[in-house]
Structure 1
Amino acid sequence: MLNSVIVVDDEAPIREAVEQWLSLSGFEVRLFSRAEECLAQVPEHFPGVILSDVRMPGMDGLQLLAELQRRDRDLPVILLTGHGDVPMAVDAMRDGAYDFLEKPFTPETLLGSLRRALEKRALVLENRALHERADNRSRLDATLLGMSPTMQTVRRQVLDLSQLPVNVLIRGETGSGKEMVARCLHDFGPRADKPFVAVNCAAIPEQLFEAELFGHESGAFTGAQGKRIGKLEYAHGGTVFLDEIESMPLAQQVKLLRVIQERRIERLGSNQSIDIDVRIIAATKPDLLDEARAGRFREDLAYRLNIAELRLPPLRERREDIPMLFSHFSRNAAERLGRDAPVLSAEQLSHLLSHDWPGNVRELANAAERQVLGLDGPAAQENPMGQSLVVQQEAFEAHCIRSALRRHRGDIKAVMHELQLPRRTLNEKMQRHGLVREDFLAGDSPTG
């Protein structure tokens, strides 16, 4: 249960008495003598209650109430009033105050009002968190596309890990979407309004690696003109994404390990330590512990990076997502290039499902763009034994329903007639394949 209380009163004896009562009852108390000080320091989504006197020099309690209501209409504010202020306090309750207490009041009266207000605040914040999580889930569904069980698991893991202050290691093949997942871990977490800095460890020459990550002072080495802020320092408060971390030189791995342990850096050419607050998300294709056993990676750093691991499945392990992804990429390419998005034939769909896609999602996106440009069709069939009949049937069924919904602009009766399906069967199949009628009303297919 929440137990935070902010007390605002210009009279020191009252502040001290209230603090003593509340502290003995297990509350966390902050005191302010002026309303302006309270406004400057009360955090957004404050998990508690404001207890304020009405009559104070400068901004009074009613003005404080009005400003707090403007910021958060559900924040409970209890007013402390003298006898002559009761009618005014009653009016304030109509304007949003939670309660008022007439001076002098007993500790029991104060505690009863506070506990009721805190219970209400807890319900409000819990409800907000549930709505925010539902909104995030919808946004994530539209970003990390796919209805396969493996992708549903990935999205659940991303939502959970985005809220936790831990380093994450993302494992996946080339083109499987590691940077997009890293970006989602940042965007859906509490660091979303801070920098997201992506570093491709394989693309930085070894002799420039330290300066790139840690920055340098003027004259630190030949050609170092002026001070430069490194990637880690620039990302303060946010996230650093280290892609292809297995390519980081061993000498720099030692320094990165120290940064993770001590939360501070030193620029090249400087003896001054700088405190930083960054979350590290790393991505790799090989197993870092295998790399460590081969002497190419530090084992202690591998454990530090891999507090939580996210494995991204290759496209060949989630073939049922291929039609949805290809349609999405085709539509995006068509819009960008000013062309019509092609509709796949059954033969083309079979070819898509049969290909192994060694380049994964990135290769699929390129294939979709080439088809929009008319350069070639989907990939030729190379591995007809690569997927089960059930997977092919499910993917083909989803594609047929999606195409019919697009052609008929979401007209369910027309789709039922074309596919010769009863309403209940069509509804069940649409639900299983993640198809929503509203996404097709304007003639567009869904994005996730």
Structure 2
Amino acid sequence: MNKSGERNARLLLVDDDKSLLRLLTIRLEGEGYQVTAVEDGQAALRKIRSEDFDVVLSDLRMPGLDGLSLFEEIMGVRKDIPVILMTAHGTISDAVAATQRGVFGFLPKPVDHDELRKLLQKALSQSLSVQPEDWCKDIITRAPEMTSVMDQAFRIAQREVSVLISGASGTGKELLANAIHRASNRRDKPFIAINCGALPENLLESELFGHAKGAFTGAVHANPGLFREADGGTLFLDEIGDMPMTLQVKLLRALQERQIRPVGSAKHVDIDVRIISATHKDLHKEMGEGTFREDLYYRLNVVNLKLPSLKERSEDIPLLARTLLQQSGQRHGVNVTQFSDDAMQLMVKSEWPGNVRQLVNVVEQCVALTQTPVIPLHLVQQALSATRQSWPTLTEARDAFEQKYLHKLLKMTDGNVTRAAELAGRNRTDMHKLMKKHELDAGDFR
């Protein structure tokens, strides 16, 4: 116990170098830590399973169970313990790999004691007070593919790194982003989300960075912008692949300088936000086509989490369907208890192109139409048929309109790109980019 009567932090020290083990034990006990020192990974695991520790400090290169393998084993037992790795053979690639897998920190040997002290204090200050069931309470799963993603998300939640969540529409990217926020040390600050494909460029810039009063027609009041609204917390940029190139440049500058400049203002404003972004697009393909900046991609994609489709986690369908049925029934005051066996079998076998979002829609339709407590097969068939032609997202609708518009425009102008650009109020470069995006060839219209 320390002088204030609180328990001193318990540290598990793991290193096969006995002399270094003794030296670090003496130093850390002098700092007030309760230190348990062991010489190999297996001994460390036995301690983890039988005792409670606040931080693990381990060598990376050890005979038998090395530091990274030990970390993976610890995460299978206690996901909330920060693990710091040390190595005399450290490289940048080691540090990056360790951080991406969820290791809290990485220290080269010989260990700088001031750096170690700072890292230990940071690890302790960020120790999770949130319980595992609290941070991911909105995500219902038991599928191994999803559990693996959730484990990784939990590990990196408190690391101040940007996360890119990829996956098809409807897989729950915003739910995962919100869960990461709740598991982070920013959980008491705002979580702000915006869909980058839902607004035209000028409005998106104003929403993100804010604007000064009088910056443009209609700007009768200053707008702080979402970066400042999310100060200290998390800003979730959904469908980042739809962000216009000019705004990508401004976003990159804001992330590099940790400052923004509101539209119409000459002043820069400091920002403190964590960025989580998401996309259903293949950003590697977008970079190859010149529609997404490579430098921004690597700034956003420090850690990538890929969400599986609902079809890939089919064992979750009965669990999700029952939970959604109960919630929908309570919300609408409808007495429903379950799906019939054949109705559930149909749902498990279905393709679910709209993923979890489509499943929610199907359950809602069934609850609205049922006249019995047990949802019959024909209602599920009807709802599945209806949702296969479900209402498109704004991004999907805009892309569909854009393609039809360009097709008609090129047909009207007999494939004359210059004339088509004039009619559309765009320049030739923009027109060629749009045609490439929608795989249209001017020669096909001549």
Structures share a fold, TM > 0.5? yes
Counterparts of 2:158 and 2:308, CA distance in 1 = 22
Match of 1:241 in 2: 236
Counterparts of 2:277 and 2:316, CA distance in 1 = 26
Give 1:293-304 correspondences, 5 Å limit. Answer: 293-304=288-299
After TM superposition, the score normalised by the length of structure 2 is 0.58
Q: CA deviation at 1:237?
A: 1.0
Match of 1:352 in 2: 347
Q: CA deviation at 1:298?
A: 1.3
Shift of the 338–380 alpha-carbon distance from structure 1 to 2, 3 Å rule, reads: closer
Q: Is the 8 A contact 1:246 1:284 kept in 2?
A: yes
5+ unaligned residues in a row in structure 2: which ranges?
Answer: 10-25, 38-51, 56-77, 83-126, 371-377, 386-446
- Tell me, yes or no, if structure 1 residue 283 matches structure 2 residue 216: no
Counterparts of 2:365 and 2:230, CA distance in 1 = 37
Out of 191, 204, 227, the residue aligned to residue 196 of structure 1 is 191
Shift of the 113–242 alpha-carbon distance from structure 1 to 2, 3 Å rule, reads: closer
Match of 2:214 in 1: 219
Counterparts of 1:364 and 1:326, CA distance in 2 = 7
SS of equivalent to 1:193? coil
Match of 2:23 in 1: none
Match of 2:7 in 1: 74
Q: Is the 8 A contact 1:322 1:352 kept in 2?
A: yes
Q: Is the 8 A contact 2:210 2:225 kept in 1?
A: yes
Match of 1:342 in 2: 337
Kindly provide the CA deviation profile for residues 135-180 of structure 1, in whole angstroms up to 9, marking residues without a partner as x. Answer: 6333356432111110110110110121211111111111110000
- Tell me, yes or no, if structure 1 residue 115 matches structure 2 residue 117: no
Give 1:52-71 correspondences, 5 Å limit. Answer: 65=4
Counterparts of 1:181 and 1:128, CA distance in 2 = 17
**Residue type of the alignment partner of 1:74:** R
Shift of the 220–339 alpha-carbon distance from structure 1 to 2, 3 Å rule, reads: same
Q: CA deviation at 1:125?
A: 3.7
Counterparts of 2:34 and 2:281, CA distance in 1 = 50
Counterparts of 2:301 and 2:53, CA distance in 1 = 35
SS of equivalent to 2:325? helix
Shift of the 156–129 alpha-carbon distance from structure 1 to 2, 3 Å rule, reads: closer
Kindly provide the CA deviation profile for residues 225-284 of structure 1, in whole angstroms up to 9, marking residues without a partner as x. Answer: 132101112211111100011111111000000011111111112222211111111110
Out of 305, 313, 320, the residue aligned to residue 318 of structure 1 is 313
Give 1:28-67 correspondences, 5 Å limit. Answer: 65=4
- Root-mean-square deviation over aligned CA pairs: 3.1
Match of 1:171 in 2: 166
Kindly provide the CA deviation profile for residues 11-68 of structure 1, in whole angstroms up to 9, marking residues without a partner as x. Answer: xxxxxxxxxxxxxxxxxxxxxxxxxxxxxxxxxxxxx966xxxxxxxxxxxxxx5xxx
Q: CA deviation at 1:346?
A: 2.0
Q: CA deviation at 1:220?
A: 1.4
Q: Is the 8 A contact 2:201 2:244 kept in 1?
A: yes
Counterparts of 1:282 and 1:116, CA distance in 2 = 40
Kindly provide the CA deviation profile for residues 185-219 of structure 1, in whole angstroms up to 9, marking residues without a partner as x. Answer: 10111110111110111111222121111111111
Q: CA deviation at 1:118?
A: 2.5
Q: Is the 8 A contact 2:196 2:238 kept in 1?
A: yes
Q: Percent identity, please.
A: 39
Match of 1:378 in 2: 380
Counterparts of 1:133 and 1:165, CA distance in 2 = 14
Please say which structure displays the higher CA radius of gyration. Answer: 1
5+ unaligned residues in a row in structure 1: which ranges?
Answer: 1-47, 51-64, 77-110, 384-448
Match of 1:184 in 2: 179
After TM superposition, the score normalised by the length of structure 1 is 0.58
Q: CA deviation at 1:319?
A: 0.8
Shift of the 353–212 alpha-carbon distance from structure 1 to 2, 3 Å rule, reads: same
**Residue type of the alignment partner of 1:377:** L
Counterparts of 2:383 and 2:261, CA distance in 1 = 54
Shift of the 382–145 alpha-carbon distance from structure 1 to 2, 3 Å rule, reads: closer
Q: Is the 8 A contact 1:354 1:382 kept in 2?
A: no
**Residue type of the alignment partner of 1:182:** A
Counterparts of 2:218 and 2:224, CA distance in 1 = 15
Q: Is the 8 A contact 1:146 1:152 kept in 2?
A: yes
Count of residues in Structure 1 that have an aligned counterpart in Structure 2: 282
Counterparts of 2:315 and 2:325, CA distance in 1 = 17
Shift of the 153–179 alpha-carbon distance from structure 1 to 2, 3 Å rule, reads: same
Kindly provide the CA deviation profile for residues 292-314 of structure 1, in whole angstroms up to 9, marking residues without a partner as x. Answer: 11222112111111111010001
Counterparts of 1:250 and 1:141, CA distance in 2 = 34
Q: Is the 8 A contact 1:144 1:155 kept in 2?
A: no
Q: CA deviation at 1:113?
A: 12
Match of 2:133 in 1: 138
Q: CA deviation at 1:334?
A: 0.7
Shift of the 135–186 alpha-carbon distance from structure 1 to 2, 3 Å rule, reads: closer
Q: Is the 8 A contact 1:172 1:285 kept in 2?
A: yes
Q: CA deviation at 1:130?
A: 4.9
SS of equivalent to 2:338? coil
Q: CA deviation at 1:128?
A: 12
Kindly provide the CA deviation profile for residues 298-337 of structure 1, in whole angstroms up to 9, marking residues without a partner as x. Answer: 1211111111101000101111110000000000001111
